[in-house]
Structure 1
Amino acid sequence: MRTVGVEEELLLVDPDSGEPRARSAAVLAHVAGDGRGDDVFEKELHRQQLEFATRPQTDLAELGEEIVRGRKEAARHAEEAGCSVAALATSPLPVSPTVSVADRYQWMADRYGIAAQEQMVCGCHVHVAVDSDEEGVAVLDRIRPWLAVPAAISANSPFWQGEDTQYESYRSRVWQRWPSAGPTELFGTPERYRRRVADMVATGSLLDKGMIYFDARLSERYPTVEIRVADVCLHADTAVLVAALCRGLVETAAREWRAGTAPLEHSVSLLGLAAWRSARSGLTGDLLHPRTMRPRPARDVVRALVDHVGGALSDSGDLDRVHEGLDLLARRGNGARVQRAALERTGSLAEVVTECVRQTQG
């Protein structure tokens, strides 16, 4: 069974006001001095963010336990540094982001200006193991049309600088400001993939290969396909659901490749529109059906994804868990729905953050 791992970016906030706090250095200092060997935490582009990563797992229950444990440890270290953590993909409250002290991040701030300054957004990256670069590129070519669906499931960023954006995932729209972000054309072979990456870096517009921000890419650090479309999920169980669907997509794509099934040849333009529809309405309106690229109710498109990966989910023992996760999601809503409900109930974006701090740890 393929292993799957998750990287989550969390927001550091004031425990009273809910405003983002530039405390990542202090949090990481507490991590370093804790003596528990917590090496899963890292700084991010902005000092108001903290990242952690799980280990590769085959069992989704164990993956879920590790995500919950990582969030609780992040909360403990943050409390020691005078702040709280929230699994929010954007800050509901106004913020002036502070770039972390690191040569890489300073280069990005100088090169991209306000586009980098405004990139205080938190995502969820899913790593799924592949056997080779050949298999990995074949997977990338075949999962392209389906990625807007887990993005819609994860949507958790309706607010930006104190305003309702009318989007379910505004994070994804901000993320598109990076020059290398977004969907890709078909690659066909690892050689063409590597050549495209090298050509992009050679333009001087990117610092290095680490700035290849495709919706899904071959990881430079691990033998995985890295799927990067999701908002950080408010609830850990939604993150597990997204991971399960991503693993199902990778396994299904690899089976199609081995069977000689060609990938769908949708244009990058259509894939970009599918991503926009996903960001705009999440699970509350229409999505573009991955096979036809025509609008269909979100519930029908989610069902089409589950049908598409159903064989892989059944073989891995994940099908019932995915159905249960989707049932829970339908009742409770994704993060965007929960945030808007909290604002309607309390009338306060600060209270929205407070509620999300509580829900981050379950």
Structure 2
Amino acid sequence: MSERTFGVEEEFLLVDAEGRPAAAAPAVLRGSPEELQPELVTCQVESVTPVCGDVDELLGCLRDQRRQLVEGAAEKGLRLLATGTPPVEDTARLTPGARYRRIADHFRGLMDSVNVCGCHIHVGVPDRETGIGVLNHLRPWLPVLLALSANSPFAEGADTGYASWRYLAMSRWPSGGPPPFAESAEHYESLVGDMAQSGAVLDPANLYWDIRLSPRHPTVEVRVCDVAPTAEEAALLAVLVDGLAATARARLDSGETAEPVSQDVLRADLWRAARDGLAGQCVDPRTRSLRPAGETLLGLLDEVRPQLQDGAKEFAEQTLADVLARGGGAARQRDVLARNGDFAEVVAFLAGQTKA
């Protein structure tokens, strides 16, 4: 197996003192390094780590990039939030640019759902055929990763009843949700081509599947997750995805094929994970049974443990234990609101987690 690498993209909200989304990304990012970038709407910013070889390197990059963005926001009297959806009033405005305008003109009312923040995890693959094998092996685990990351219970000042409202918002898009099982790289490209023919995607970067072959890098990109509350939890997601990818490649090398779970069944599993998050139940892909999400996550850790290396095993065990003890991001937000009854306290809590 070739050298293992991974990287993470994180999307964040910029909000004012009352927690309302602030159209300030150009001002906050002025003079920033190129790995800190604008997003589709002007109240969002994105960080992109370099290619990393171990969890210590990745965690250092995540912490440093969050620090830079927090400081840049503070200079403008704003706060940076790591949450999948704005907890209060959404006043998003499109970022200037021909590509963004083309997307808005083409997809029309769906643009109401773009002010959401995810965490995208890239794992390196030697070629696209291997990438398809890894993608197929990872597909059944997408609901478990979503349950762990679910961090968007509120929208427009109300509780949605879901742990990841961001996931439901993105699932409305014609290329949202899980990809179909692909027989080969050629089959995958034909599926994307057929979607482009209908106008469901405008270009490869406009493909919003929960997992895809990156259009720009030699990676498999997992896009199912909400942005993580903390840098440590973002690194945990990356370690687990890297472990799943390494497990998949080992099985591919031994001739083992992935289980072709149907797209409809997988979509149902993802809906349940988005509803319940870490506080409820999640389908275990190994048994197809509904189990407490925490137990399913411990099963995921068992699945990847033999492939974790360079301190990743100890990091994953400790960080996952901490998350299971404290509760997932959605539960933590709800706990703050239940104690205080005030969304301003939720915003303050989120801002504190983001920079911790």
Shift of 1:205: 3.0
The runs of 4+ residues in structure 1 deviating greater than 4 Å are none
In structure 2, the partner of 1:324 is: 318
The answer to whether the aligner puts 1:359 opposite 2:331 as a matched pair is: no
Task: Please give the alpha-carbon distance, in whole angstroms, between the structure 2 residues aligned to 1:117 and 1:25.
Answer: 21
| Residue 185 to residue 316, structure 1, CA distance change in 2 (3 Å) | farther
In structure 2, the partner of 1:300 is: 295
Shift of 1:291: 2.6
Q: Deviations over 1:63-112 (max 9, x none)?
A: 11110110010111122233221111101101122111111111222222
Task: Please give the alpha-carbon distance, in whole angstroms, between the structure 2 residues aligned to 1:244 and 1:29.
Answer: 32
Counterpart residue type for residue 23 of structure 1: A
Which moved further from structure 2: 326-335 or 233-242? 326-335
TM-score, normalised with respect to structure 1: 0.95
Question: Do 1:9 and 1:51's aligned partners in 2 also have CA atoms closer than 8 Å?
Answer: yes
Question: Do 1:30 and 1:80's aligned partners in 2 also have CA atoms closer than 8 Å?
Answer: no
Question: Do 1:46 and 1:98's aligned partners in 2 also have CA atoms closer than 8 Å?
Answer: yes
Q: Deviations over 1:144-178 (max 9, x none)?
A: 00111111111110001111011111100001011
Task: Please give the alpha-carbon distance, in whole angstroms, between the structure 2 residues aligned to 1:299 and 1:208.
Answer: 38
Q: Deviations over 1:266-297 (max 9, x none)?
A: 11111001111111001111101113333111
Q: Deviations over 1:182-228 (max 9, x none)?
A: 11222121111112112211222321111111111111111111000
Q: Secondary structure at the match of 2:215?
A: coil
Which moved further from structure 2: 105-114 or 40-49? 105-114
Question: Do 1:30 and 1:77's aligned partners in 2 also have CA atoms closer than 8 Å?
Answer: no
How many residue pairs get matched?
A: 354
**Structure 2: segments with no counterpart, 5+ residues:** none
RMSD over aligned CA atoms reads 1.3
Shift of 1:316: 4.8
Q: Secondary structure at the match of 2:279?
A: coil
Equivalent of 1:338, from 328, 332, 337?
Answer: 332
Q: Deviations over 1:307-326 (max 9, x none)?
A: 2212112x454222111011
The answer to whether the aligner puts 1:152 opposite 2:153 as a matched pair is: no
Question: Do 1:98 and 1:117's aligned partners in 2 also have CA atoms closer than 8 Å?
Answer: no
Shift of 1:30: 4.3
Question: Do 1:158 and 1:169's aligned partners in 2 also have CA atoms closer than 8 Å?
Answer: yes
Counterpart residue type for residue 11 of structure 1: L
Shift of 1:114: 2.1
Counterpart residue type for residue 191 of structure 1: E
Counterpart residue type for residue 20 of structure 1: P
In structure 2, the partner of 1:261 is: 256
In structure 2, the partner of 1:175 is: 170
Question: Do 1:339 and 1:352's aligned partners in 2 also have CA atoms closer than 8 Å?
Answer: yes
Question: Do 2:294 and 2:324's aligned partners in 1 also have CA atoms closer than 8 Å?
Answer: no
Alignment of 1:48-63 (within 5 A): 48-63=43-58
Question: Do 1:19 and 1:350's aligned partners in 2 also have CA atoms closer than 8 Å?
Answer: no
Task: Please give the alpha-carbon distance, in whole angstroms, between the structure 2 residues aligned to 1:17 and 1:209.
Answer: 37
Question: Do 1:129 and 1:225's aligned partners in 2 also have CA atoms closer than 8 Å?
Answer: yes
Alignment of 1:135-146 (within 5 A): 135-146=130-141
In structure 1, the partner of 2:7 is: 5
Task: Please give the alpha-carbon distance, in whole angstroms, between the structure 1 residues aligned to 2:102 and 2:323.
Answer: 40
**Structure 1: segments with no counterpart, 5+ residues:** 32-37
Equivalent of 1:224, from 219, 222, 236?
Answer: 219
In structure 2, the partner of 1:193 is: 188
Counterpart residue type for residue 134 of structure 1: E
Task: Please give the alpha-carbon distance, in whole angstroms, between the structure 1 residues aligned to 2:73 and 2:65.
Answer: 12
